[in-house]
Amino acid sequence: MTDSEIEITAELLRGLLRDQHPDLAGLAVREVAGGWDNHMWRLGDELVLRMPRTERAPDLQRKERRWLPLLAPRLPLPIPTPVRIGEPSARFPRLWTIMTWVPGEPLDHTSISRSDHAADTLAGFLNTLHVEAPADAPTASDRGAHPKKCTDGFEKCLRAIAPGGITGDVRPLWDVWDDAVAAPEWEGPPVWLHGDLHPANVVVSDGTLAGVIDFGDMFAGDPAWDLAAAWLLLPAGARFFEAYAHADEATVRRARGLAALKSLFLILMGQNGERGLPGGKPTWGPAGRVALDRVLTPSWG
């Protein structure tokens, strides 16, 4: 199913709710901008409908349904948790989920003004999340590897960015990447990871981090994949690793390289959005360029 095959409208959603969750059918339904694998719609003030828009989205929703109720109670920031299940039907042929709404403004639409508070908040969240995962925790097929296995992706992303997307000499960027590639591998047990921490997947309120959303890519693995968020999310001067305190030098080196890769991806998706290409996100470009500046500041973090 592609976006063009089934148009997701408020009328469709009200019909689904009348069929499967009639007690919620009277709540206001309004579209939420953004989203990648899922089309998001507010349901009243406290809930959100997640409607799959890609082939992989139903499996991501199943993963969230399985694990988020177990993780949410111990995490220090609000995260979305499933409250109702939508089954495939004649109206809509795929599963869908009703989840709690996490209030706040996505970081790709705003900024953090309370830098120290945000650094402490992110460190506290990841310290709590990054515990050894159970043997049956999900794994990742498209992320989670040591940076040395991601060099092709790094090169492709760098080449795909249009002229002007990155200014100046790219040698310092390659130096960061080469250092991450040379860093020792993670030797600890696989820990729980959000897996896709970037500015569109956290929300801000009162100048600081207020919630983390979209856990569809969660998996167990190397914490460096989440720790890259220090460069992607926090303002210059934030002392995140002083607050996190559990990352050894090799993990920080891997995380910084992965932050470079993720920054390039944000820039590329931003350029695609400016061109009107499918999947493009215009707000991601500026966020990616700012993050890349932080990555290239050796004393940052």
Lowest mean pLDDT, pick from 95-99, 223-227, 279-283, 297-301: 297-301
> Other CB atoms closer than 10 Å to residue 59's CB: what's the count?
14
Q: Any bridge partners for residue 52, and if so which?
A: 38
2 pLDDT band, cuts 50/70/90, is very low
What are the tens digits of pLDDT across the range 171-186? 999 999 999 999 999 9
What are the tens digits of pLDDT across the range 53-79? 889 999 999 999 999 999 999 999 999
Looking at per-residue pLDDT, the higher value among 114 and 34 belongs to: 114
Per-residue pLDDT averaged across 5-34, rounded?
A: 93
Nearest by Cα to 92 from 29, 12, 4: 12
Strands of 105-106's sheet, edge to edge? 105-106, 202-205, 208-212
| Dist CA 275 CA 68 (whole Å) | 36
Helix (H) or strand (E) holding 204: strand 202-205
How high does pLDDT run on average in the chain?
A: 93
| Dist CA 47 CA 44 (whole Å) | 6
Nearest by Cα to 217 from 61, 71, 92: 61
Share of the chain above pLDDT 90, in %: 85
Position 262 scores a pLDDT of: 97
Position 5 scores a pLDDT of: 61
Position 301 scores a pLDDT of: 54
Position 4 scores a pLDDT of: 43
Q: What's the helix, strand, coil split of the chain in %, to 5?
A: 45, 15, 40
1 pLDDT band, cuts 50/70/90, is very low
Amino acid type, 162: A
Share of the chain above pLDDT 70, in %: 97
| Residues 6 or more apart in contact with residue 11 via CB below 8 angstroms | none
What are the tens digits of pLDDT across the range 125-164? 999 999 999 999 999 877 899 999 999 999 999 999 977 7
225 close to 143: Cβ distance less than 8 angstroms: yes
Per-residue pLDDT averaged across 208-229, rounded?
A: 97
| Dist CA 238 CA 240 (whole Å) | 6
pTM of the model: 0.93
| Dist CA 231 CA 254 (whole Å) | 12
278 pLDDT band, cuts 50/70/90, is confident
Position 300 scores a pLDDT of: 56
Tokens of 200: 């569109």
Q: Is residue 34's pLDDT more than 80?
A: no
Q: 101 in helix, strand or coil? A: coil
233 close to 199: Cβ distance less than 8 angstroms: yes
Q: Is residue 3's pLDDT more than 80?
A: no
Q: Is residue 168's pLDDT more than 80?
A: no
Q: 292 in helix, strand or coil? A: helix
Q: Report angle CA 118, 219, 252 to the nearest 5 degrees.
A: 50
| Dist CA 210 CA 223 (whole Å) | 21
191-193 vs 82-86, strand pairing mode:
unpaired
CA dihedral sign of residues 221, 222, 226, 232? negative
Per-residue pLDDT averaged across 198-207, rounded?
A: 97
